[in-house]
């Protein structure tokens, strides 16, 4: 067992020992007051699955009592990443209420501090035991994990997590169907819909699937029937009619914009050549622009958005950024040109050219919020070049934003008070903030003090609510407007529970990206 796993296991053991607080106490800390949204599905999901009204009986047969064997797998326990990879104990959720955890997950920002973004995604994908609190009828925590990923445009891990669980629950299937539409697997989703008798598709979803299998006559008949019965709205009927027979509408003006566009409507509009731009749509739609069919400018915009949210890797972003030579200037074209010039100099092994081109390229990455992706790609190569002065200082700053942060701090001699402070944090050492330090630097210094400071999350740890504490701390660290004392508390929690690497990377990103 690693040091990180051991530390977490000890704290979880302490939390469940007799004497731990089992319910919200009058002296519960301020993190309990973090505002959280209601648990609700994303408002852009398609209406692909129907449900009977909750007050109407669907059968006169007496209900069947289902007994679930002890230890049977539930949706809440499904994950992709085992504890050997995450270092998180299986009992991380402990005694927290599933609805509370769900709201905390949904409150996580779409684009926050990159280290925290990656950690909360790991929590969403981890194999963890369900909370020990009484579970609600619906898998609210599992759905919140999926919805957090969808909000960030992380379609591939969301799809993998759903498929690991099996998309048999109607709410889970609804999300899987839309993800399949957005990732180009509509035929597979339609086949699953037809093969699952427990899924009752809506008429528009059935029409789409009938059309994709070539049964245009049945699709047209279903459109007429649904419209006559009022089960398909006029706006839906207009779109579906054009989708089924676009030639009938040649010369007609295009459809009006849809302010509540769903993946199902998006798919039909794309089929008739009226696909809207994705820049104003939720991040999940941006994946449609990663295809070569979208044009390079659209690809670049989508790649930047999805890289900032952590939905695609730095390698995927770089491949799109370096696919062609920009033929225009301004905006994204200038960023692409600056990076490509630096890339060429590094590939040529020319330290003079690389030194001249580093600052413009990094400034372009700052403009787009892509510093971390840039560091992951270029830090090691920059550190191998003999760069000195301001250029060397910038190269080391890039290195501190990369996984090599500790190596950079151990191998180099600090040239400024700010760099000396950052090196100390990278090594996990106590250090005084530099003269004239701002509140963020002072907050980080306090978190790395010796002895370790007390923090306001102790109640959650002692109450076997470790995962809840970490999610609340993640919210604090993702919002630059929080009180410095809150930042110190959140970093101190990460260090106390053994998440030292996360604490250092978070602190360095606070210093460099937001300092």
Tell me the pLDDT tens digit for each residue of 237-294.
Answer: 999 999 999 988 988 899 999 988 999 999 999 999 999 999 999 999 999 999 888 8
DSSP conformation class of 322: T
pLDDT of residue 38: 73
Pick from 227, 245, 271: which residue ends a domain?
Answer: 271
Residue 422 lies in a domain: yes
Residues 168 and 38 in one domain: yes
Residues 244 and 110 in one domain: no
Residue 367: in which H helix or E strand, if any? helix 351-368
Residues 242 and 105 in one domain: no
DSSP string across 125-161: HB--PPPSSPPPSS-HHHHHHHHHHHHTT-HHHHHHH
195 vs 178: CA distance, rounded Å? 17
Residue 89 lies in a domain: yes
Residue 376 lies in a domain: no
Burial of 22 (0-12, 13-18, 19+ CB in 10 A): exposed
CB atoms within 10 A of CB 147: 21
Q: How far separated are the first and last CA of the chain, in Å rounded?
A: 36
Residue 314 lies in a domain: no
The CA angle 438-440-441, to the nearest 5 degrees, is 70
Residues 179 and 39 in one domain: yes
Pick from 155, 174, 201: which residue ends a domain?
Answer: 201
Residue 165 lies in a domain: yes
Q: Helix (H, G, I), strand (E, B), or coil: what is residue 88?
A: coil
pLDDT of residue 26: 40
Q: Compute the average pLDDT of residues 145-152.
A: 97
pLDDT band at 49 (very low <50, low <70, confident <90, very high): confident
Tell me the pLDDT tens digit for each residue of 179-202.
Answer: 999 998 888 888 888 787 777 788
| Domain extent at residue 244 | 214-271
Residues 20 and 132 in one domain: no
Residues 177 and 41 in one domain: yes
Residues 42 and 153 in one domain: yes
Residue 10 lies in a domain: yes
DSSP conformation class of 30: G
pLDDT value at 63 more than 60: no
Out of 109-118, 282-291, 301-310, 474-483, least confident range: 474-483
Residue 283 lies in a domain: no
Residues 86 and 165 in one domain: yes
Share of the chain above pLDDT 90, in %: 72
Number of structural domains the chain divides into: 3
Residues 181 and 237 in one domain: no
**Phi, psi (5° rounding) for residue 369?**
70, 35
Q: 369: Cβ–Cβ under 8 A, 6 or more apart, which residues?
A: 111, 304, 308
Residues 107 and 220 in one domain: no
Residues 140 and 226 in one domain: no
Strand partners, 126: 81
Pick from 141, 171, 201: which residue ends a domain?
Answer: 201
Q: Helix (H, G, I), strand (E, B), or coil: what is residue 483?
A: coil
pLDDT value at 3 more than 80: no
pLDDT value at 54 more than 70: no
Strand partners, 81: 126
Sign of the alpha-carbon torsion through 337, 339, 341, 344: negative
Residues 194 and 238 in one domain: no
Characterise 202 by phi-psi region: left (phi > 0), alpha (psi -120 to 50), beta (else). beta
DSSP conformation class of 433: P
């Amino acid at each position: 067992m690693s040091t990180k796993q051991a530390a977490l296991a000890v704290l979880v053991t302490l939390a469940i020992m007799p004497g731990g607080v089992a319910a919200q106490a009058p002296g519960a800390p301020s993190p309990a007051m973090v505002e959280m949204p209601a648990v609700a599905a994303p408002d852009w999901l398609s209406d692909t699955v129907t449900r009977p009204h909750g007050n109407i009986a669907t059968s006169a047969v007496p209900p069947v009592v289902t007994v679930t064997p002890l230890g049977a797998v539930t949706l809440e326990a499904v994950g992709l990443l085992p504890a050997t990879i995450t270092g998180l104990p299986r009992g991380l959720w402990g005694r927290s209420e599933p609805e509370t955890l769900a709201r905390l997950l949904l409150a996580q920002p779409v684009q926050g501090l990159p280290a925290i973004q990656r950690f909360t995604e790991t929590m969403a994908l981890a194999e963890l035991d369900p909370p020990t609190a009484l579970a609600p009828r619906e898998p609210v925590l599992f759905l919140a994990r999926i919805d957090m990923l969808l909000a960030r445009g992380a379609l591939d891990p969301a799809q993998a997590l759903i498929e690991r669980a099996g998309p048999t629950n109607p709410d889970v299937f609804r999300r899987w169907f839309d993800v399949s539409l957005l990732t180009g697997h509509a035929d597979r989703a339609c086949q699953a819909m037809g093969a699952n008798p427990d899924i009752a598709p809506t008429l528009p979803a059935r029409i789409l699937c009938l059309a994709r299998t070539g049964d245009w006559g049945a699709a047209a008949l279903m459109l007429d029937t649904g419209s006559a019965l009022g089960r398909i709205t006029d706006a839906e009927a207009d779109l579906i009619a054009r989708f089924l027979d676009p030639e009938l509408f040649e010369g007609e003006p295009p459809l009006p914009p849809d302010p509540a566009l769903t993946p199902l409507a998006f798919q039909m509009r794309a089929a008739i050549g009226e696909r809207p731009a994705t820049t104003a749509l939720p991040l999940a739609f941006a994946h449609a622009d990663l295809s070569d069919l979208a044009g390079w400018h659209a690809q670049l915009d989508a790649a930047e958005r999805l890289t900032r949210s952590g939905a695609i890797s730095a390698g995927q972003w770089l491949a799109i950024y370096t696919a062609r030579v920009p033929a225009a200037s301004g905006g994204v074209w200038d960023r692409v040109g600056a990076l490509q010039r630096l890339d060429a100099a590094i590939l040529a092994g020319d330290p003079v050219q690389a030194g001249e081109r580093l600052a413009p390229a990094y400034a372009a990455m700052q403009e787009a919020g892509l510093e971390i992706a840039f560091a992951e790609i270029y830090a090691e190569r920059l550190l191998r070049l003999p760069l000195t002065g301001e250029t060397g200082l910038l190269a080391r700053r890039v290195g501190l934003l990369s996984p090599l942060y500790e190596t950079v701090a151990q191998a180099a001699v600090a040239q400024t008070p700010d760099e000396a402070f950052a090196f100390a944090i990278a090594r996990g050492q106590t250090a005084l903030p530099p003269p004239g330090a701002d509140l963020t630097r002072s907050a980080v210094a306090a978190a790395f003090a010796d002895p370790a400071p007390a923090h306001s999350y102790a109640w959650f740890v002692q109450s076997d609510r470790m995962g809840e504490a970490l999610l609340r701390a993640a919210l604090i660290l993702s919002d630059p407007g929080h009180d410095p004392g809150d930042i110190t508390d959140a970093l101190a929690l990460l260090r106390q529970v053994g998440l030292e690497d996360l604490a250092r990377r978070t602190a360095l990103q606070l210093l460099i990206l937001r300092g």
